[in-house]
Structure 1
């Protein structure tokens, strides 16, 4: 308890920063979680923020983003991030009915309730799985291989995703061998390259005449923004109550889908979002009720999957054994020289060893509270103004440039010109796999772990 209270101020401060930053980032359509959450969390770790602050920054940021990503999704019809893609069809139908404001309020309210349920459920499931932590650590190199294949097959690429692992793993092994001859060991540069791979592909495409012609626009994009109808209903000064915005059936649906998706932490978050939505849809006949309830459950699932897939591997195993843990949450496991995870040598010195289960639970609830205080009223009251500002004033090119600049600085810091070359190479190849083959970033992160952990174990067996 004493340690908990000592680190409480920094946890509150970093949680507030994470909630504010990612509540704003979530409004910007197309800001992928891996390309935003992972690099900024990595920076927080590298500048020396204590573990409690790192954790609340990450979790409050993730929760906030999955509230405000509903704003462009519901009002503009452009997904706020990858997790918002499954919401698009139902959101379009709600806009056609003239009630996008109701869709937004219900989706964000579902996310609030889901975040608190998911923290509790994830800690419980992690506690139940933790006795198997040593066993799983012993078979981790093989488990990473199985998990990589399973995650790849569950992606939209299916078999192509599994086959794409082979050249990507070979690329990582080759780059490691090359940098090793110059006595340069890299980890962060690989993560950064994977995280902003699609951005790197676009930047390279602009340099080619054909690609530049395809990306060129002669006039600003035309975006329809739904009317500002009913967003301030019920008074603007009182804190919104999600239990008044959702009916009893919708609250029950969010509670059930959040608990189920928290337990299935090894599956793709996007796949779980679709599945939970379909489970709710199949049980409701009335059209409007079915649409609004499905959206509520889906957006709640975007919260629960991210929370559970980060918390359970951290608490139970200390290994990144989920798509989220291997993707946006990867810096919590590997961020040399602060955090290191290497089951082959038995080295697990990351956030899982820095915080106890009770601390994860307490700081997890704190992150949910801070994100709710910041992002929930913002999304409920100022959604239309925020969406209008982003559409008319915010330059996506500037956002891309900011994250590319961040990657350049961190890559040079880790490995000089070698770090930058590795980030560019991995980003270009990984980005093409994401864009063309339709694997997601979590597959490529698992491919990295296969290269550094599974391949040496396989070679040792057959040598």
Structure 2
């Protein structure tokens, strides 16, 4: 690894941290929808795997640091993973402490990063001797993963019932493309189908709006007023260990370690469970809310980082909710990355560690400083001048472009079909994770059934 590559990694980390600092503050930006398309696009244009990994780690750390801001100031989740913290953040806002809420969550996120990186490498080393055996049964593992995640969702029966039909849809489209000779028989369309699932709810909602009767019955909300309280200015570089109390620091560190160990489970489920379990004994509402949000933010960051690093280092297959979602491009972005040829195979453990540390440190230095110093000002700017719809439109356009690159014009409509079905299923309680697992398991599952 020469100095030119290290310089590129640093620049990419700065770019990732800056971009996802703004995106994280925008309300309702789903992690998979905003991270996966950009990562896959970088892979497909031939960016160095060192640079891609540094960019991704910086992006996820920055995203997790800043998605607490709209939660604290407006009660609106900055992403899916910040939704469990809304209730506790509103307790602090009610007591006139939104600035404290931002500082506690951001500090917890920093601790989650610091704990999860060494924990991830430790866990990966323990799993490494069994990597070949795990890879051998990858198809079966994905299928069992789909069943496991289906049993964890709101609508268990529908989630289980849809596994085979959704696999048929995916493989059916692939065989259609092969039969029409749109793509060679040795090419498997993957990227666009994956992205179709990520934008499913958006596409389904847009098609609903084409129904005139449905559109007329929607309530008009008008302009929403959001009050922002001026925060007290901080001097010097903020210290997360001084912002948090000793008990909050210990709770965040413990939650982060558990989040790293349980990288293969749902991060949202673990965040809700552990956040409530570790704080339910605290009587004072402000102390309880402060402890809960710092612990939850640490855990979510740890779950995201370990969910990326452990499968990437030890196995090379996306065997975690994080790896099959936002980080999927690091594992599978044909024709550049495939399950047999991705960052796991291209980079050594030391190189992965270097890229991870560079990305994480730069994101903390930039985003944590900016979050603590200028949270209110940035939030006001984003709420005023960056429409949520513009961000969603940007990523939807990127998906259309990648669908065309995958298999031409017909695949735009194929991807739209996947998105519509995924959006309908998601609306009815089927988790993203189930659909992603089916996408990976489909070739094996249909092979077994045939």
TM-score normalised according to structure 1 size: 0.93
Cα offset, 1:112, TM superposition:
0.8
Cα offset, 1:454, TM superposition:
3.4
User: Does the Cα contact within 8 Å between 1:27 and 1:68 map onto a contact in 2?
Assistant: yes
Mapped partners of 1:422, 1:17: distance in 2: 33
1:211 has 2:214 as partner: yes
Q: Which residue of structure 2 lines up, in the alignment, with residue 228 of structure 1?
A: 230
Q: Which residue of structure 2 lines up, in the alignment, with residue 202 of structure 1?
A: 205
User: Does the Cα contact within 8 Å between 2:275 and 2:296 map onto a contact in 1?
Assistant: yes
Q: Which residue of structure 2 lines up, in the alignment, with residue 422 of structure 1?
A: 414
Mapped partners of 2:416, 2:70: distance in 1: 30
Q: Which residue of structure 1 lines up, in the alignment, with residue 161 of structure 2?
A: 163
Q: Which residue of structure 2 lines up, in the alignment, with residue 48 of structure 1?
A: 46
Mapped partners of 2:421, 2:371: distance in 1: 36
Q: 2:196 aligns with which of 190, 193, 198?
A: 193
- 1:302-348 superposed Cα distances (whole Å, 9 cap, x missing partner): 1001001111111111111111111111111111111011xxxxxx1
1:438 has 2:429 as partner: yes
Q: Which residue of structure 2 lines up, in the alignment, with residue 380 of structure 1?
A: 372
> Which structure 1 residue ranges, 5 or more long, are not aligned?
342-347
Q: Which residue of structure 2 lines up, in the alignment, with residue 345 of structure 1?
A: none
Other structure's SS at 2:155 match: coil
Other structure's SS at 1:349 match: coil
- 1:12-62 superposed Cα distances (whole Å, 9 cap, x missing partner): 111111111111100100110111100010111111110111111111111
Q: Which residue of structure 1 lines up, in the alignment, with residue 293 of structure 2?
A: 295
1:452 has 2:450 as partner: no
Q: Which residue of structure 2 lines up, in the alignment, with residue 344 of structure 1?
A: none
Mapped partners of 1:302, 1:209: distance in 2: 40
Mapped partners of 2:276, 2:413: distance in 1: 43
Question: Bigger CA drift: 162-171 or 76-85?
Answer: 162-171
Mapped partners of 2:116, 2:175: distance in 1: 41
Q: How does 1:399-410 map to 2 (within 5 A)?
A: 399-410=391-402
Q: Which residue of structure 1 lines up, in the alignment, with residue 130 of structure 2?
A: 132
Mapped partners of 1:446, 1:241: distance in 2: 40
Cα offset, 1:439, TM superposition:
2.4
1:368 has 2:360 as partner: yes
Mapped partners of 2:154, 2:110: distance in 1: 28
Mapped partners of 1:296, 1:352: distance in 2: 32
Other structure's SS at 1:431 match: helix
Q: Which residue of structure 2 lines up, in the alignment, with residue 337 of structure 1?
A: 335
Q: Which residue of structure 2 lines up, in the alignment, with residue 73 of structure 1?
A: 71
> Which structure 2 residue ranges, 5 or more long, are not aligned?
none
Q: How does 1:105-116 map to 2 (within 5 A)?
A: 105-116=103-114
Q: Which residue of structure 2 lines up, in the alignment, with residue 321 of structure 1?
A: 319
Other structure's SS at 2:278 match: helix
Mapped partners of 2:155, 2:352: distance in 1: 34
User: Does the Cα contact within 8 Å between 2:112 and 2:299 map onto a contact in 1?
Assistant: yes
- 1:418-442 superposed Cα distances (whole Å, 9 cap, x missing partner): 221121011111011112x222322
RMSD: 1.6
Question: Bigger CA drift: 73-82 or 275-284?
Answer: 275-284
TM-score normalised according to structure 2 size: 0.95
User: Does the Cα contact within 8 Å between 2:316 and 2:331 map onto a contact in 1?
Assistant: yes
